[in-house]
Structure 1
Amino acid sequence: MAGTFMAIMDVFIVLIAAPAIQDDLHASDAQLQFVLAGYQLIYAVTLVTGGGWGISMGGRKSSSSAWGSSPWPPSAAA
Protein backbone atom coordinates (compact mmCIF):
# COMPACT_ATOMS: atom_id res chain seq x y z
CA MET A 1 0.00 0.00 0.00
CA ALA A 2 2.79 2.43 0.87
CA GLY A 3 4.66 1.52 -2.33
CA THR A 4 1.64 2.31 -4.47
CA PHE A 5 1.17 5.63 -2.69
CA MET A 6 4.83 6.54 -3.24
CA ALA A 7 4.65 5.69 -6.96
CA ILE A 8 1.53 7.80 -7.44
CA MET A 9 3.02 10.64 -5.41
CA ASP A 10 6.20 10.55 -7.52
CA VAL A 11 4.27 10.87 -10.79
CA PHE A 12 2.15 13.66 -9.29
CA ILE A 13 5.21 15.63 -8.20
CA VAL A 14 6.85 15.28 -11.61
CA LEU A 15 3.67 16.47 -13.34
CA ILE A 16 3.46 19.49 -11.01
CA ALA A 17 7.13 20.28 -11.77
CA ALA A 18 6.65 19.89 -15.55
CA PRO A 19 6.38 23.64 -16.31
CA ALA A 20 9.59 24.35 -14.37
CA ILE A 21 11.34 21.47 -16.15
CA GLN A 22 10.18 22.85 -19.49
CA ASP A 23 11.48 26.33 -18.65
CA ASP A 24 14.84 25.04 -17.40
CA LEU A 25 15.40 22.88 -20.48
CA HIS A 26 13.98 25.49 -22.90
CA ALA A 27 11.94 22.63 -24.35
CA SER A 28 8.88 22.60 -26.57
CA ASP A 29 5.76 20.69 -25.57
CA ALA A 30 6.82 17.68 -27.66
CA GLN A 31 10.30 17.67 -26.13
CA LEU A 32 8.86 17.89 -22.61
CA GLN A 33 6.57 14.96 -23.37
CA PHE A 34 9.60 12.97 -24.57
CA VAL A 35 11.56 13.79 -21.39
CA LEU A 36 8.64 12.82 -19.14
CA ALA A 37 8.03 9.59 -21.08
CA GLY A 38 11.72 8.71 -20.70
CA TYR A 39 11.56 9.40 -16.96
CA GLN A 40 8.46 7.22 -16.57
CA LEU A 41 10.06 4.42 -18.59
CA ILE A 42 13.21 4.42 -16.45
CA TYR A 43 11.10 4.59 -13.28
CA ALA A 44 8.97 1.62 -14.41
CA VAL A 45 11.99 -0.50 -15.38
CA THR A 46 13.65 0.24 -12.04
CA LEU A 47 10.45 -0.57 -10.15
CA VAL A 48 9.92 -3.89 -11.93
CA THR A 49 13.58 -4.88 -11.64
CA GLY A 50 13.65 -4.00 -7.95
CA GLY A 51 10.45 -5.92 -7.35
CA GLY A 52 11.84 -9.01 -9.05
CA TRP A 53 15.05 -8.69 -7.08
CA GLY A 54 13.07 -8.39 -3.86
CA ILE A 55 11.04 -11.50 -4.67
CA SER A 56 14.09 -13.56 -5.59
CA MET A 57 16.15 -12.51 -2.55
CA GLY A 58 13.35 -12.28 -0.02
CA GLY A 59 11.86 -9.11 1.37
CA ARG A 60 13.93 -8.71 4.50
CA LYS A 61 17.29 -9.45 2.85
CA SER A 62 16.68 -7.22 -0.19
CA SER A 63 15.43 -4.27 1.83
CA SER A 64 18.32 -4.47 4.27
CA SER A 65 20.87 -4.61 1.46
CA ALA A 66 19.17 -1.72 -0.32
CA TRP A 67 19.23 0.43 2.82
CA GLY A 68 22.82 -0.63 3.47
CA SER A 69 23.96 0.67 0.07
CA SER A 70 21.93 3.88 0.29
CA PRO A 71 23.76 7.14 0.97
CA TRP A 72 20.98 8.08 3.42
CA PRO A 73 21.43 9.74 5.85
CA PRO A 74 23.92 12.07 4.18
CA SER A 75 25.97 12.47 7.35
CA ALA A 76 26.72 8.73 7.37
CA ALA A 77 28.11 8.89 3.83
CA ALA A 78 30.76 11.47 4.73
Structure 2
Amino acid sequence: MVTFLFAFILLASIGVITMFDLYLYDRSLLSILNANIFFEKGTSQWMLYANLLCGFVYGIVVDYRFRKSKKSSKSS
Protein backbone atom coordinates (compact mmCIF):
# COMPACT_ATOMS: atom_id res chain seq x y z
CA MET A 1 0.00 0.00 0.00
CA VAL A 2 2.88 2.37 0.74
CA THR A 3 4.36 1.73 -2.71
CA PHE A 4 1.00 2.36 -4.39
CA LEU A 5 0.53 5.64 -2.52
CA PHE A 6 4.09 6.71 -3.35
CA ALA A 7 3.51 6.07 -7.06
CA PHE A 8 0.11 7.79 -6.96
CA ILE A 9 1.46 10.91 -5.26
CA LEU A 10 4.40 11.03 -7.67
CA LEU A 11 2.17 10.76 -10.75
CA ALA A 12 -0.32 13.26 -9.34
CA SER A 13 2.41 15.80 -8.67
CA ILE A 14 3.83 15.34 -12.18
CA GLY A 15 0.32 15.88 -13.55
CA VAL A 16 -0.22 19.07 -11.56
CA ILE A 17 3.18 20.46 -12.53
CA THR A 18 2.51 19.62 -16.18
CA MET A 19 -0.88 21.37 -16.13
CA PHE A 20 0.67 24.43 -14.51
CA ASP A 21 3.48 24.47 -17.09
CA LEU A 22 0.97 24.07 -19.93
CA TYR A 23 -0.83 27.17 -18.75
CA LEU A 24 2.32 29.15 -18.00
CA TYR A 25 4.56 28.36 -20.99
CA ASP A 26 1.94 27.62 -23.68
CA ARG A 27 3.91 24.76 -25.27
CA SER A 28 2.83 21.29 -26.35
CA LEU A 29 2.04 18.58 -23.81
CA LEU A 30 4.82 16.27 -25.00
CA SER A 31 7.52 18.93 -24.83
CA ILE A 32 6.50 19.85 -21.27
CA LEU A 33 6.37 16.20 -20.16
CA ASN A 34 9.76 15.67 -21.75
CA ALA A 35 11.20 18.66 -19.89
CA ASN A 36 9.64 17.56 -16.57
CA ILE A 37 10.51 13.86 -16.67
CA PHE A 38 13.89 13.65 -18.44
CA PHE A 39 16.77 15.70 -17.08
CA GLU A 40 19.44 17.47 -19.05
CA LYS A 41 23.10 16.62 -18.67
CA GLY A 42 25.03 18.92 -16.40
CA THR A 43 22.13 19.69 -14.08
CA SER A 44 21.67 18.47 -10.53
CA GLN A 45 18.23 17.09 -11.32
CA TRP A 46 19.67 13.55 -11.11
CA MET A 47 19.70 13.98 -7.32
CA LEU A 48 15.92 14.27 -7.39
CA TYR A 49 15.62 11.00 -9.27
CA ALA A 50 18.07 9.28 -6.92
CA ASN A 51 15.95 10.33 -3.95
CA LEU A 52 12.76 9.20 -5.70
CA LEU A 53 14.34 5.82 -6.37
CA CYS A 54 15.36 5.52 -2.71
CA GLY A 55 11.82 6.41 -1.64
CA PHE A 56 10.35 3.83 -4.00
CA VAL A 57 12.68 1.11 -2.73
CA TYR A 58 11.88 2.09 0.87
CA GLY A 59 8.15 1.81 0.10
CA ILE A 60 8.66 -1.70 -1.29
CA VAL A 61 10.64 -2.71 1.82
CA VAL A 62 7.95 -1.32 4.16
CA ASP A 63 5.22 -3.14 2.25
CA TYR A 64 7.22 -6.38 2.34
CA ARG A 65 7.82 -6.12 6.11
CA PHE A 66 4.16 -5.32 6.75
CA ARG A 67 3.01 -8.25 4.64
CA LYS A 68 5.53 -10.58 6.30
CA SER A 69 4.45 -9.54 9.83
CA LYS A 70 0.80 -9.89 8.87
CA LYS A 71 1.36 -13.45 7.63
CA SER A 72 3.36 -14.44 10.73
CA SER A 73 0.67 -13.09 13.08
CA LYS A 74 -2.06 -15.06 11.26
CA SER A 75 -0.12 -18.35 11.40
CA SER A 76 0.48 -18.22 15.16
* TM-score, structure 1 normalization: 0.39
Q: Quick one: higher RCO (CA 8 Å, sep 6+), 1 or 2? A: 2
* TM-score, structure 2 normalization: 0.39
Larger gyration radius, structure 1 or structure 2: 2
